Structure 1
Amino acid sequence: MPVLFSALLPPDDVVEAVAEAVGEQADGLRWEPPERWHVTLAYYGHDDVETRGDWLAARLAGRAAVDVRLEKAATFPGVLWLTVAGSELTPLAHAAGADAEARPYVGHLTLARFPREEPGRAGRYTKRLAHFASRGWTATEVVLMTSEREPGGPRYRVARAFELDRA
C-alpha cells in the first residue's frame, strides 16, 4: 500500500513567485523541488487509495473552497517552511483528518530540510522571506496524494481530486 496524504496544490504563478523569492538554493539545505510543493492537510501513512479516497470524499462533501496565501518563512526542527494564511484552512484540514494527529495542525509549505542540530542553517532564508507574501488564491480542490520512495527523493502523484464548493 502506498503512503497517502491530502493536500492543496498552489497555482503555478504562486509556485513561480515563491521560487523567485527564494532565489539561490544554497547553504547545504536539501531543497524540495517546486513540483513537489504542496500544503499538507492530513497524513494517512500506508493506506488503500480507494478506501481512503471514499472516506475523504465523504468528509469533504459540501465543504466550501478556502482562500489561502503563502507568507513569511519559519522553521520547525530541521525544516524551512512558508506559513499558510487563511482562516478556513484549519477546519478544512480537520475535516480531512488532521484532527486525528497528536500535534496541532500548522498549515505550511515545506521548502527545504536541514540537520536538526544546525537550526541556524536556514537563517539566511528566514530573513530573506520574512516579509514574503504570495498573492491570495481560492483553493477549489483537495487532492489525495501518493508518496513513493525513489532515488532522487519521494515522488508525489495525485491519486484523486475532490472539488470544494465555490459558492
Structure 2
Amino acid sequence: MPVLFSALLPPDDVREAIAGALGEPDGLRWEPPERWHITLAYYGPDDVETRAAWLGERLAGRPAVDVRLEKAATFPGVLWLTVAGPELTPLAHAAGAGAEPRPYRAHLTLARFPREEPGLAGRWTRRLANFTSRWWPATEVALMTSERAPGGPRYRVARAFALDRG
C-alpha cells in the first residue's frame, strides 16, 4: 500500500521565487523544487481509492484558501518556510490533520540537516528572514503518494480535489 498525504502545491512562479531567494543552496540536504508542498494531513500506508473517497467527502463544498509563504524557521533537523493564510488550518483539519498527535503547523520543507548540528541552518534562517511570496488562491487539494526512490522520496498526485472558487 502506498504512503499517502494531502497537500497544497505552490504555483510555478512561487517555486521560482523561493529558488531565487535561495540562490545556490549548499551545506544542507535540499529538497528539490518538484517535491515542495504544504502538507495538510498525513495518512500513512492506505488504499488510494478508499482515502480519495473519504477526502472527497471531507472537502466537498470547501472554499479555496489564500496562502503565501514567509520567513524560514526550523524544527529539529528541518529548515522550512512558514505558511500564512487564515483559512489554512481549518482546511487542514477538514483533510484530517486533527487526527495527528501533534498540533498542525503549516510549512514547506526546504532542507534537512543533522539534528545534532542546528547551527547549520542558522545562515539560511537569517537569509530568508524577510522572504515573502505573493498570496495565491489554493484552488485544489492533492492526494499524494510517496514512494521510496534513489535520491529521496518520489511524490505523485493520485487525485486532485477542487475547492470552491466562490
Question: Residues 80-99 of structure 1: matches in 2 within 5 Å?
Answer: 80-99=79-98
Structure 1 segment 20-59 matched on structure 2, within 5 A = 20-27=20-27, 29-59=28-58
Unpaired runs of 5+ residues, structure 2, are none
Normalising to structure 2: TM-score of the pair?
A: 0.99
State the alpha-carbon separation in 2 of the partners of residues 148 and 67 from structure 1: 29
Task: Specify the code of the residue in structure 2 equivalent to 1:68.
Answer: V
Runs of 4+ in 1 over 3 A off after TM superposition: none
Q: Which amino acid aligns with 1:18?
A: I
2:6 matched residue in structure 1: 6
Structure 1 residues not aligned, in runs of 5+? none
User: Normalising by structure 1, what TM-score?
Assistant: 0.99
Quote the offset at 1:105 in angstroms.
0.3
**Shift, 1:114, TM fit:** 0.4
Which one-letter code corresponds to 1:110 in the other structure?
A: T
Q: Secondary structure at the match of 1:62?
A: coil
Q: Hey, what does 2:157 align to over in structure 1?
A: 158
Letter in 2 for 1:89: L
1:136 and 2:135 matched: yes
Instruction: Tell me which amino acid in the other structure corresponds to 2:74.
Output: T
Q: 1:34 & 1:78 partners in 2: Cα distance?
A: 19
Distance in 2 of aligned mates of 1:44 and 1:37:
18
Superposed CA offset, 1:30-61 (max 9, x none): 10000000000000000000000000000000
Aligned counterparts of 1:136 and 1:164: Cα–Cα separation in 2? 16
Q: Note if 1:71 corresponds to 2:62.
A: no
What root-mean-square deviation, in Å, do the aligned CA atoms of Structure 1 and Structure 2 show?
A: 0.4
Distance in 2 separating the partners of 1:154 and 1:131: 30
CA deviation map 1:10-30 (0-9, x unaligned): 000000000000111112x11
| In 2, Cα distance between equivalents of 1:60 and 1:20 | 33
Question: How many percent of aligned residue pairs carry the same amino acid?
Answer: 82
The equivalent of 1:15 in structure 2 is: 15
How many Å separate the matches in 2 of 1:11 and 1:58? 25
DSSP-derived class of the 2:141 partner: strand
SS in 2 for 1:17: helix
Total equivalences in the alignment: 166
2:21 alignment partner AA: A
Question: Over residues 105-157 of structure 1, what are the superposed CA-to-partner deviations in whole Å (9 max), with x where a residue is unaligned?
Answer: 00000000000111110011100000100000000000000000001110000
